[in-house]
C-alpha cells in the first residue's frame, strides 16, 4: 500500500501508469471519463488494444483478453467485491495492481462516498496506490494506516502573474469559467479579438474534447477556454491559467472556490520542468485573488482534510426498506461523515412510494435491479422529477415481459438524436442525451442485443461529437485571421487601413467599424473572420488618427463645443462629462474613456482646452456667478454680504428673498451698490440677475445646476407667465408661483415698483390694470401678488388697495432646514 501525495504536475498519474504496466494486470480509477480515455490511449500505445479495457458509465471497450482496466471511479471492477450491485453485469476482478486517482475527492459532497469506498475496499493483489493531494494525508493515516506515504514535489514552479484583462493574456493561456454560458461568452470575445479559442468542458464527449485540445496543441489557436474539468489531470501545454471567475454553482448554491480547488486548476499551468503562472482577469472585487490565497497556492499549503464522506458500498438488497436503511446508515464515529443524499438515493426514495415499484422489488434480485436503474446518471441535467419519471419508465420495462427495454422505443429515441443540425447548445444537449442511452446499452442485461445498441450509440455520439467540434470551431475560431497573422507575423501594420469621411474604418476594403470622435465601435454587421488581424492592424492607424483629432479639438473654436445634460460634445461627439467642482461656475471636466488611448500630454491639453472653453462660456453668459463666488469668499466683506452672495451663488443667481431676509436688511448701502454693480436686483420678493432670464443664459445656467444634482426644466422661450405646474413654472427657472399662475421674477418686481410708486402713504389707491393685463396676469394672480407685496384690498365697487406694510424681519425664527446650508448660514449671520 502506497499513498503518493503532492500538488499538480508531480507525475503521480504517470507513475501509477508505469507501475501498472510493470504488473501482469491492473486497474486505475479516475475522476473523469475524459481522463480515463486519455490514459487509455496511452496504455494502448504501450500494451496493445487487445490488452487494455476502458470502462465508464457510457463507454465500455473490454476485449476478452484485457488485463489492464482504465475506469471512472464509479465503474471500477471491484476486486474481491460482490458483483451485481450496479446493474447485474459488473464483475469481480482480481488485479495485481490497483490505483485510485484524485482520492481527495472523498471530501466532495456529491461523489465523495464513491472515492471513500474505493479507498477503504479496493485493493490490488500485489500493489495498491492512492494518488491525491497532500491534504489527504490525515485521512490516509486514519483509514489506511498500513499505507506508506510518499510525498512528491512539483516539477515546476507555479507563480502568481497578477490580473490581466482577457484581451491581454499571453499566448498558450487557459481561461477557466464555471458555466457553459460564461465559457461561450469568453470564447466569443477571444474569437472577435484574438482569432479564436478551443473549448473544453466536462460535458463534452472525449472525441470532441480531444479534437479541441488537438487544435490548441497544434497551435491553430493560442487560447483555451475551459471549465474546472481541466483541473483533474488533463494534460495540455498550458503556460498560464486565468480565472474568469472565482465562484461556482455547486448544485446547491453559488460559492467561492476553496483554495485547494483554485490550486488544482491553477496547477495545470506549466508542464514537467517548465514553470507556469496563474492569475485572474480582474484586479479587485470578488473575482480577484486575496494575498492569502496567492501565498497558499504558490507554496502548496492547504488545510488538511478532517473528514471524508461515506456511504455503505455493499448495501443490503434483501428489501427496498433494507436498501434505503443501509444507504442512510451513518458511519461509526471518527473521520467518516454520512454522505449527503445523492441523486440515486433521491430517485430510489421517490420510487419506493409507488406500490407497483415495491410489488416488483420483492426479491433481492428485484431490489438489485431497482437500485441499478436508480443509478442511471442524470446526464441531461433534467432535475429530480423528470429524471425520476424516466427511471420509472426504465424500471417498468426491465420488470415486465422479457425484462428488456423495448427495441422499437429505444431505436426511436436514439434516431431522434441522430442529427447534427442546430447550434452548439443544441448539439451538446443531444450528446448529453445519447450518453443516457449509451449507459443503458452498456448494461449487459437491459437490452436484448446490447452489443448492437452499444455500437449504434457510440456511432451516434461520435457523429454528434464531430458535429459539435465543427460547430465550436465555426463559432469560436477565426481560421482566416490566424492564417493572416502567421503570414504577416507581428507586423500587422502592413495591411492598409483607411478612415472614410464619415469615420468608417476599412482594412483591406473590409469594414470593421466606425471611429465616432475618439470612440471606435465595431460594425454590428461585420463578419468575425479576420477580426483579430484587422483590429490589430487598425490599432496603430487609429492611434495616429486619434492624435490628429486631439490636436483639432485643442485648436477648435468655442462654438465647436456643446453641452447636453452634463455631457460635453465636440462636433457632436461626446468627449467629456462635467462633475461638481468647488464652485457652481467651475465644474470639473472628466474626460470620456474613449480618450484613454491618447498620451498623457494630449489628455492634459484636451482637458485644459475644455476648461478654458467652459470659463469663457461662463464669463460670456453667466458673469454673475464668478462675481458672487468672489463676494461669498471675500474675507473683507461683512457676514451679511457673504451670506447673500453665497445663497445667490448656490441657487445659480436666482433665490427667494425670505430665507436671507435678515441678511438683506443688514446690508450696508455700499454693499447694496456692490451687488447692483454685479447685476443683482434686490427685489421685494426675490433676488436675481435679470440677464439669467435670457434664453442662452438660462440654458447654460440649467446645465450647471444639473451638474450639481438639480433638475431644472426650462420654460418656453419668451414666456412671461405660465400656468402653475407647467414645465419651468418654478422659482429655480426664474418664475415665481402666485395663485394659479407663475410670473417671471423681473415682472413681479416691475409690478411691485409701479404699485409702490402709485401709493400715497397709507391712503387707498387704484393701480393701473393695463400693466398686469399686458403681462397676461389674471385678476386672481394680481390680487394674490398685491397681498404678498404688503397691500390689502379696500371694499368698494372698483379694486383699490392700501399699504399695510410687511412685518420687519424677526431675529428669532424657526430652526432652519438642516439640509439647506445657506438658510442655516443666513440665520446664523442674522443673529450675530
Binning pLDDT at 50, 70 and 90, where does residue 809 land? low
Cell of 642: 457673504
Each residue's pLDDT tens digit, 28-57: 999 988 889 889 999 999 999 999 999 988
Domains, in order of start, for the chain: 2-151 (3.40.50.300), 158-299 (3.40.50.300), 342-476 (no CATH)
Which of 196-205, 270-279, 408-417, 764-773: highest mean pLDDT? 408-417
Phi-psi region of 172 (alpha: psi -120 to 50; beta: other; left: phi over 0): left
Each residue's pLDDT tens digit, 751-771: 888 888 877 667 777 777 777
Average pLDDT rounded to a whole number, residues 267-287? 83
DSSP class of residue 444 equals T
Closest by Cα among 136, 231, 107 to 174: 231
HEC-encoded secondary structure of 352-381? CCCHHHHHCCCCHHHHHHHHHHHCCCCCCC
Over the range 662-687, which residues count as b (16 or more CB within 10 Å of their CB) and which as e?
Answer: bbbebbeeebeebbeebbbeebbbbb
Cell of 535: 483590429
Each residue's pLDDT tens digit, 85-126: 443 334 457 899 999 999 999 999 889 999 999 999 999 999
Cell of 524: 454590428
pTM as predicted: 0.58
Binning pLDDT at 50, 70 and 90, where does residue 533 land? low
Is the per-residue pLDDT at 247 higher than 70? yes
Helix (H, G, I), strand (E, B) or coil at 649: helix
* H-only helix segments in 384-449: 384-398, 407-417, 424-441
Q: What is the pLDDT of residue 203?
A: 75
463 and 476 Cβ atoms separated by less than 8 Å: no
Rounded distance, CA 89 to CA 369, Å?
11
Is the per-residue pLDDT at 555 higher than 60? yes
Q: What percent of the chain has pLDDT over 70?
A: 88
Binning pLDDT at 50, 70 and 90, where does residue 243 land? very high
Rounded distance, CA 758 to CA 450, Å?
113
Q: Which has the higher per-residue pLDDT, 656 or 792?
A: 656
CB half-sphere exposure, 457, CA atoms < 13 A: 30
Average pLDDT rounded to a whole number, residues 569-587? 88
Average pLDDT rounded to a whole number, residues 641-659? 91
Is the per-residue pLDDT at 183 higher than 80? yes
Over the range 67-94, which residues count as b (16 or more CB within 10 Å of their CB) and which as e?
Answer: bbbbbbbbbbbbbebeebbbbbebeebe
Each residue's pLDDT tens digit, 397-409: 999 988 999 999 9
Helix (H, G, I), strand (E, B) or coil at 581: strand
Each residue's pLDDT tens digit, 482-522: 544 444 444 444 556 677 777 777 765 666 677 888 887 76
Is the per-residue pLDDT at 157 higher than 70? yes
Average pLDDT rounded to a whole number, residues 561-582? 87
Helix (H, G, I), strand (E, B) or coil at 633: coil
Q: What is the pLDDT of residue 823?
A: 52
Which of 182-186, 285-289, 392-396, 559-563: highest mean pLDDT? 392-396
* 354 class by beta-carbon count within 10 Å (0-12 exposed, 13-18 middle, 19+ buried): middle
Q: What is the pLDDT of residue 117?
A: 94
- Measured in degrees and rounded to the nearest 5, phi and psi for residue 219 equal 85, 10
Each residue's pLDDT tens digit, 289-336: 999 999 999 888 888 999 999 999 899 999 999 999 999 999 999 999
> Any idea which of 375-384, 485-494, 564-573 has the lowest mean pLDDT?
485-494
Q: What is the pLDDT of residue 228?
A: 80
Closest by Cα among 134, 334, 110 to 202: 110
Amino acid at each position: 500500500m502506497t499513498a503518493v501525495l503532492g500538488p499538480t504536475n508531480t507525475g503521480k498519474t504517470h507513475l501509477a501508469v508505469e507501475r501498472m504496466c510493470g504488473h501482469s494486470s491492473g486497474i486505475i480509477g479516475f475522476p473523469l471519463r475524459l481522463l480515463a480515455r486519455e490514459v487509455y490511449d496511452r496504455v494502448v500505445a504501450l500494451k496493445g488494444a487487445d490488452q487494455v479495457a476502458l470502462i465508464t458509465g457510457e463507454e465500455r471497450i473490454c476485449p476478452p483478453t484485457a488485463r489492464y482496466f482504465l475506469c471512472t471511479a464509479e465503474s471500477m471492477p471491484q476486486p474481491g467485491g460482490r458483483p451485481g450491485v450496479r446493474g447485474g453485469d459488473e464483475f469481480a476482478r482480481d488485479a495485481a495492481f490497483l490505483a485510485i486517482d484524485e482520492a481527495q475527492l472523498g471530501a466532495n459532497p456529491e461523489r465523495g462516498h464513491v472515492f471513500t469506498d474505493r479507498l477503504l475496499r479496493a485493493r490490488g493483489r500485489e500493489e495498491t496506490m492512492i494518488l491525491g493531494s497532500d491534504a489527504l494525508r490525515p485521512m490516509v493515516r486514519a483509514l489506511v494506516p498500513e499505507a506508506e506515504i510518499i510525498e512528491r514535489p512539483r516539477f515546476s514552479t507555479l507563480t502568481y502573474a497578477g490580473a490581466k484583462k482577457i484581451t491581454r493574456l499571453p499566448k498558450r493561456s487557459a481561461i477557466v469559467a464555471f458555466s457553459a454560458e460564461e465559457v461561450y461568452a469568453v470564447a466569443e470575445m477571444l474569437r472577435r479579438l484574438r482569432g479564436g479559442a478551443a473549448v473544453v468542458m466536462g460535458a463534452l464527449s472525449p472525441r470532441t474534447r480531444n479534437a479541441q485540445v488537438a487544435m490548441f496543441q497544434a497551435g491553430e489557436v493560442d487560447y483555451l477556454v475551459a471549465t474546472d474539468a481541466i483541473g483533474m489531470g488533463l494534460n495540455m501545454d498550458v503556460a498560464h491559467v486565468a480565472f474568469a471567475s472565482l465562484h461556482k454553482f455547486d448544485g446547491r448554491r453559488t460559492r467561492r472556490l476553496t483554495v485547494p480547488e483554485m490550486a488544482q486548476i491553477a496547477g495545470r499551468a506549466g508542464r514537467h520542468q517548465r514553470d507556469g503562472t496563474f492569475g485572474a482577469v480582474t484586479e479587485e472585487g470578488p473575482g480577484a485573488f486575496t494575498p492569502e490565497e496567492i501565498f497558499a497556492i504558490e507554496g502548496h499549503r492547504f488545510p488538511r482534510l478532517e473528514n471524508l464522506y461515506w456511504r455503505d458500498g455493499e448495501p443490503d438488497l434483501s428489501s427496498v426498506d433494507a436498501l434505503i436503511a443501509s444507504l442512510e446508515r451513518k458511519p461509526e464515529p471518527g473521520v467518516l461523515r454520512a454522505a449527503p443524499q445523492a441523486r440515486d438515493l433521491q430517485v430510489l426514495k421517490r420510487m419506493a412510494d409507488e406500490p407497483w415499484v415495491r410489488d416488483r422489488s420483492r426479491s433481492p434480485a428485484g431490489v438489485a435491479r431497482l437500485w441499478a436503474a436508480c443509478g442511471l446518471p442524470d446526464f441531461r441535467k433534467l432535475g429530480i422529477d423528470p429524471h425520476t419519471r424516466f427511471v420509472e419508465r426504465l424500471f417498468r420495462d426491465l420488470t415486465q415481459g422479457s425484462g428488456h427495454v423495448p427495441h422499437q422505443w429505444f431505436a426511436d429515441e436514439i434516431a431522434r438524436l441522430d442529427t447534427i443540425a442546430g447550434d452548439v447548445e443544441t448539439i451538446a444537449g443531444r450528446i448529453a442525451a445519447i450518453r443516457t442511452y449509451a449507459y443503458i446499452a452498456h448494461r449487459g442485461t437491459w437490452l436484448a442485443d446490447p452489443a448492437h445498441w452499444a455500437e449504434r450509440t457510440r456511432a451516434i455520439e461520435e457523429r454528434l461529437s464531430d458535429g459539435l467540434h465543427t460547430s465550436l470551431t465555426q463559432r469560436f475560431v477565426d481560421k482566416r485571421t490566424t492564417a493572416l497573422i502567421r503570414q504577416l507575423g507581428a507586423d500587422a501594420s502592413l495591411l492598409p487601413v483607411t478612415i472614410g469621411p464619415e469615420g468608417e474604418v476599412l482594412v483591406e476594403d473590409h469594414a470593421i467599424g466606425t471611429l465616432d470622435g475618439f470612440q471606435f465601435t465595431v460594425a454590428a454587421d461585420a463578419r468575425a473572420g479576420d477580426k483579430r488581424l484587422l483590429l490589430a492592424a487598425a490599432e496603430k492607424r487609429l492611434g495616429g488618427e486619434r492624435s490628429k483629432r486631439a490636436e483639432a479639438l485643442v485648436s477648435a473654436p468655442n462654438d465647436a463645443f456643446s453641452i447636453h445634460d452634463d455631457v460635453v460634445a465636440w462636433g457632436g461627439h461626446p468627449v467629456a462629462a462635467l462633475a461638481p467642482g468647488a464652485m457652481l461656475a467651475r465644474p470639473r471636466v472628466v474626460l470620456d474613456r474613449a480618450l484613454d488611448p491618447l498620451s498623457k500630454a494630449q489628455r492634459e491639453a484636451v482637458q485644459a482646452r475644455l476648461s478654458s472653453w467652459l470659463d469663457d462660456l461662463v464669463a460670456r453668459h453667466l458673469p454673475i456667478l464668478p462675481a458672487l463666488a468672489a463676494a461669498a469668499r471675500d474675507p473683507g466683506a461683512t457676514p451679511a454680504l457673504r451670506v447673500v452672495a453665497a445663497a445667490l451663488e448656490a441657487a445659480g443667481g436666482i433665490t427667494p428673498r425670505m430665507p436671507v431676509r435678515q441678511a438683506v436688511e443688514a446690508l450696508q448701502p455700499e454693499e447694496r451698490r456692490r451687488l447692483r454693480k454685479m447685476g443683482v436686483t434686490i427685489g421685494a420678493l426675490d433676488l436675481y440677475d435679470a440677464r439669467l432670464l435670457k434664453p442662452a443664459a438660462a440654458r447654460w445656467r440649467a446645465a450647471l445646476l444639473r451638474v450639481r444634482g438639480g433638475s431644472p426644466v426650462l420654460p418656453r422661450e419668451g414666456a412671461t407667465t405660465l400656468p402653475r405646474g407647467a414645465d419651468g413654472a418654478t422659482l429655480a427657472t426664474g418664475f415665481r408661483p402666485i395663485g394659479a399662475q407663475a410670473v417671471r421674477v423681473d415682472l413681479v418686481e416691475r409690478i411691485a415698483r409701479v404699485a409702490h410708486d402709485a401709493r400715497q402713504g397709507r391712503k387707498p389707491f387704484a393701480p393701473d390694470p393695463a400693466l398686469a393685463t399686458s403681462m397676461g396676469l389674471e385678476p386672481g394672480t394680481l390680487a394674490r401678488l398685491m397681498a404678498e407685496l404688503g397691500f390689502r384690498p379696500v371694499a368698494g365697487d372698483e379694486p383699490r388697495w392700501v399699504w399695510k406694510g410687511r412685518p420687519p424681519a424677526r431675529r428669532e425664527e424657526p430652526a432652519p432646514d438642516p439640509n439647506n446650508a445657506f438658510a442655516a448660514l443666513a440665520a446664523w449671520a442674522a443673529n450675530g
